[in-house]
Chains A and B, each alone.
Chain A
Amino acid sequence: MARLDLSNIRHIYGPPGEGEPQYALRHVNQAFEHGGAYALLGPSGCGKTTLLNIISGLVHPSEGRVRIDGVDVTDKPTEKRNIAQVFQFPVIYDTMTVRENLEFPLRNRGVAAAQIKRRVDEVIEMIGLGALARRRARGLSADEKQKVSLGRGLVREDVSAILFDEPLTVIDPEVKWTLRTQLRELQRRSGMTMIYVTHDQTEALTFASGVVVMHEGQVLQVGSPKDLFEKPAHTFVGYFIGSPGMNVLPTKVDGAALRIGEYFAPLTSEPRLRGNPKLELGIRPEFVRLAAEGIPATIERIEDIGRHRIVRTRMLGHSVTALLQEHEPIPADPHLYFEPEGVHLYADSWRVELSGKPAP
């Protein structure tokens, strides 16, 4: 167990070519605290797997340093880093039994036989492979194989961190939920540092206490699920986290309010801006109200998703989504009203922090 530090990490795959280099990771500075449960969240191709492989040493970063407990391990090979990793697709040793598969990482490190037995028994119990322990791994189904891979990741007790690269992709939805809960439980109990890569926000938000949102090779925001929801630092975070995503509209600042066309949306205080950035207003559908007064809008579609209704509207040529409670009425001549505490201002896609004080 340890603290991981990534400083100034940049990575390009392949040999340096001509023209603009294609960074898989553009510039990453990130610390993973000892004992934390982290999720790396982002769309496919955002660099999260690359980042994971850089931590475990499978990939050597083009630039930057990786430190574990302050010791620079950038040039150390994977086997010397004491990190466990579980991959997206099952990797098993076909000719071994399930039990032998789980013993393998411990045997390779010369752990005492009695300790191997105790630990493997625990892991088999935890991931529910008891009935299969003596079976040859070759004949298992895909999700059983993935459980074996998962088990091999969990079996070492003294690792600095366990990295999961979308480990539950091939597993049934039902089992997926159980396993994720078990992983979370295990993390809480053992206090191991775990980093979990996923593109599924529900998975990230339920697993992690710290979510790292990545996009196009950089970290956009690190925070608790609550932070990501309430204060998305970047328009992409607002859009990516939450369902449906945040509404983003072009805007202008006018004192302590944002102007959209001839209408105003009040802010909690007056923003201070430098230069002449592209300004956008961001508001989550949860904070959009349909009222009798406000900015006129037309309703395009209503989706009933059980306890909520998603109302797709068009307002001054922009589409705006509102989230309504089940029985909330929809006025005949709808206007949109933005609740001030839900209104964010973005300058060049980054959130502008407003001071808590009301505008003078």
Chain B
Amino acid sequence: METTSKKSFITGEIMKSSILEAFRKLNPVNMVKNPVLFVVEIGFILVLLLAIFPNMMGDDNGGHLRLYNAIVAVILLVTILFANFAESIAEGRGKAQVQTLKKTNTVTEARVLLSDGTQVMKQANELIKGDIVIVQAGEVIPNDGEVIEGIATVDESAITGESAPVVKERGGDFSSVTGGTTVTSDWLKIEITSLPGESFLDKMIALIEGASRKKTPNEIALNTLLVSLTIIFLLVVVTLYPMTTYLNVDIPVATLIALIVCLIPTTIGGLLSAIGIAGMDRVTQFNVIAMSGRAVEACGDVDTLILDKTGTITYGNRLASEFSPVLGVDKKELIRAAWLSSLTDDTPEGKSILSLAIKLNVDAADEKKIIKTSDPISFTAQTRMSGLDMQNGTKIRKGAYDSIKNRSVAAGHALPKDLEGLVHQVSSLGGTPLVVTENDNILGVIYLKDVVKPGLKERFELLRAMGIKTIMCTGDNPLTAATIAKEAGVDGFIAESKPEDKINVIKEEQAQGKIVAMTGDGTNDAPALAQANVGLAMNSGTNAAKEAANMVDLDSNPTKIIEVVEIGKQLLMTRGALTTFSIANDVAKYFAIIPAMLMVAVPEMGALNVMQLNSPTSAIISALIFNAIIIPLLIPIAMKGVKYKPMSASKLLSRNLLVYGLGGIIAPFIGIKFIDLIIGPILRMMGL
């Protein structure tokens, strides 16, 4: 998955192969799958025959229509090619991804550990579930599995695109490995959990390749509508023929076919499958693998989002947010001591203390010298404190309240009166207090806070505007949970939650008719992931979680569920917008074609020629050209999806109606008039 292909929308290579593919798809066996365009193809063949044998339909003086028929035939052919091209481009982008993936999926041999302890080499495709393999640095993991021994770094860039290697070890949430990824250091003993050809990577390739791309329920429903519209318009035009014959109005067959093609929803019919493929593709571009298109569609309907607190709403680590000195201590003194205590502390907490201190203008001039000359004291489970012993004998410590208190009292110092109050205040806010001492003299408290990721509050607000409720799950006590919930702006929270609580919340919400989405990674999340309508598992998570979910995030970023929901909505919106546009276009086409068609027999029809088009022939051909050209013009929208900003349904509807409904009525009036201005004189020169 090259990063370049993520950005550019079409590469030259995809363009070239798509053009070829567009012609290959003209095969009627293939076209039948798209009934709207199949009708156009039949029309094309008929008109083509009429161009070659103008008198075929028993029209004695059909000869003068030869050129007209030929022009109509060419435009019809181009219409079909444009539609095929759109589909090919969408498929082409997926194919490029598959190529890269396939390259990584070509492991040949694996070192299998037999029960008697001997090692044999086996073909990767002969591995079965339960085989134990040993993979060493530089080797590719042959299939999906669980680490049962060893610790090693693994390069997962082949599937995640993330170049930094990940540590894999036995047990916990980092024990599953994916076939096709490379061990970069040390070695791993792995128990294989997939059959050959059924690995995660294989499934991913199959999905993107479109081999297993089933039409989604909504796509089928929309297709049904389009087919019915096609049948209606076929009926309208086919029955029109005897009526005109009865009235002695002579209409060339090519004109009737042009009328059919203009009226049936060729625009959306031509772009529908491209929209679906591109929608799935957008999810993939986000490094999320959707197991089915149905899951992506369901995303658009989500009413309730269930999010874990840690890692999703807050950073996994607590960060320093405030220094509170005890009475009689200067704040600057506390800051300096806190800074000193963390100089050799590499934990995220320690680093956050440093950066906060620097932000508060601590005197950091002698940093390097202190580090070089001091004795670092690291955190241990017994002491529950860390710090450093400086060259001048000053001992700086920071640590848990109890440990520091005992040490300070033991050293003969009196406890500051307001210390307990400060510590309690921090705890009640949901934070962790760290007490700082200098030579066992207590200076004050560092407030370590659960920090809500920036921008989340605003996003939750947007979600609320879209009608999506957010619920936070956390193991914290209710007080802490309430503080974080308020800060993050979620709609509800479950404190001290156990895994089974999650599934209960999901069931409750579903009983109220809500569609629920959640993210999870642990094995005990699996039932909840399966119960949720949309379950997004982290790639770093266990295989059980990944199996239960209907989407996997390769970057293991739980906040991504929000983007996925938006992509789901956008996919449906693109379909709706282009359908509306396509149907709205018909109004203008009618005003172009109907008067043109009848003007010869009923001159008064000229009154309906509101666009003042050059001639009947020019009107019909202009409408047809517009009908064809609009397809490639809309390919970018089909690929990228319509613009989407979270807002309430009513606002969204008015906006899209204005753009695609009203726009769909007006655009073809302008387009057809414009085309007529250009081709009118040309057609006149050609004698039409």
A is bound by B: no
Binding site for A on B (CB under 8 A): none
Binding site for B on A (CB under 8 A): none
